[in-house]
A = this chain, B = another copy of it.
Amino acid sequence: MTRLLLALALLLGIAPAAHAEDGYDLWLRYRPLAAAPRAVVAAQAAAILAPADPSPSLRAALGELDRGLAGLLGAPPPRATTPRAGALVIGTPAELPRLTALGLPLARLGDEGYLIRSVTLDGAAVTVIAANTDIGLLHGAFAWLRLAQTGARLDDLDMSSAPRIAIRMLDHWDNLDRSVERGYAGQSIWDWWRLPDYRDPRYTDYARANASIGINGAVLNNVNAAPDMLTPRFIAKAAALADVFRPYGIKVWLSVNFASPKVLGGLPTADPLDPQVAAWWRAKADEIYAAIPDFGGFLVKANSEGQPGPGDYHRSHAEGANMLAAALRPHHGIVIWRAFVYSADNAEDRPRQAYSEFKPLDGRFAANVILQVKNGPVDFQPREPFSPLFGAMPETPLALEVQITKEYLGFATHLVYLAPLFEEALDADTYAKGKGSTVAKVIEGRLDGHALSAIAGVANIGSDRDWTGSDFNQANWYAFGRLAWNPDLSSRTIAEEWIKQTFTTDPAFVAPVAAMMMGSRQAAVDYMTPLGLAHQMATGHHYGPAPWVGDLDRPEWNPTYYNRADANGIGFDRTASGSDAVAQYAPPVARRFADLGTVGDDYLLWFHHLPWGYRMASGDSLWNTLVSRYGRGVDAVAAMQRTWAGLDRYVDRERYAKAATFLAIQHREAGWWRDASIAYFQSLSKLPLPPGARPPAHDLDYYKALRFPYAPGH
Contact = CB atoms under 8 A, between A and B. Distances in A.
A662 B16 contact: no
Contacts of A202: 465
B12 A11 contact: yes
A424 interface: no
Given A18-B19, A67-B14, A192 B74 contact: no
Nearest to A19: B19
B8 A17 contact: no
Given A4-B5, A192-B710, A15 B654 contact: no
A218 to B, nearest CB: 19
Given A16-B25, A192-B710, A712-B193, A463 B413 contact: no
A76 B3 CA distance: 11
Interface in A8-32: 8, 10-12, 14-20, 22, 24-25, 28-30
Contact of A710 (B197, B198, B228, B711): B228
Interface in A515-566: none
Contact of A67 (B15, B75, B228, B658): B15
A170 to B, nearest CB: 19
A377 B596 CA distance: 76
Contacts of A199: 661
Contacts of A113: none
Contact of A465 (B8, B14, B25, B465): B465
Nearest to A668: B197
Interface string A285-316: 00000000000000000000000000000000
Nearest to A194: B413
Contacts of A66: 14
Contact of A661 (B17, B197, B711): B197
A201 interface: yes
A709 interface: yes
A71 interface: yes
A28 B201 CA distance: 22
B70 A15 contact: yes
A101 interface: no
B7 A74 contact: yes
A432 interface: no
Contacts of A712: 178, 193
A24 B187 CA distance: 18
A465 B199 CA distance: 14
A186 interface: yes
Most chain B C-beta atoms within 10 Å of own C-beta, residue among A24, A228, A664: A24
Contacts of A28: 16
B24 A18 contact: yes
Contacts of A29: 16
Interface string A611-630: 00000000000000000000
A176 interface: yes
A664 B710 contact: no
A508 interface: no
A188 to B, nearest CB: 10
A19 B31 CA distance: 12
Contact of A6 (B30, B75, B177, B193): B75
A376 to B, nearest CB: 27
B3 A201 contact: no
Interface residues of A, number: 61
Contacts of A25: 16-18
A134 to B, nearest CB: 21
A406 to B, nearest CB: 14
Interface in A175-233: 176-178, 186-187, 192-194, 197-199, 201-202, 204-205, 228
A18 B17 CA distance: 11
A673 to B, nearest CB: 17
Interface in A463-488: 463-465
Nearest to A233: B708
B193 A711 contact: yes
A172 B3 CA distance: 44
Contacts of A1: 1, 4
A665 interface: yes
Nearest to A71: B15
Contact of A7 (B24, B67, B75, B711): B75
B710 A177 contact: yes
A30 B15 contact: yes
Contacts of A465: 202, 465
A230 to B, nearest CB: 13
A1 B8 CA distance: 12
A663 to B, nearest CB: 10
B30 A710 contact: no
Given A194-B413, A228-B709, A710-B193, A201 B17 contact: yes
A642 to B, nearest CB: 19
The 10 closest A-B pairs by CB, nearest first: A7-B74, A18-B24, A176-B710, A10-B70, A15-B71, A177-B710, A4-B4, A198-B661, A16-B25, A18-B25
26 contacts: A1-B1, A1-B4, A6-B74, A11-B12, A15-B30, A15-B67, A15-B71, A16-B29, A16-B71, A17-B24, A17-B201, A17-B205, A18-B24, A19-B19, A176-B709, A178-B710, A178-B712, A193-B711, A194-B665, A197-B664, A198-B658, A198-B662, A199-B661, A228-B709, A228-B710, A465-B465
Given A3-B74, A199-B661, 9 more contacts: A4-B5, A10-B70, A10-B76, A17-B24, A18-B25, A22-B201, A192-B710, A193-B711, A194-B413
Interface of A: 1, 3-8, 10-12, 14-20, 22, 24-25, 28-30, 66-67, 70-71, 74-76, 176-178, 186-187, 192-194, 197-199, 201-202, 204-205, 228, 412-413, 463-465, 654, 658, 661-662, 664-665, 709-712
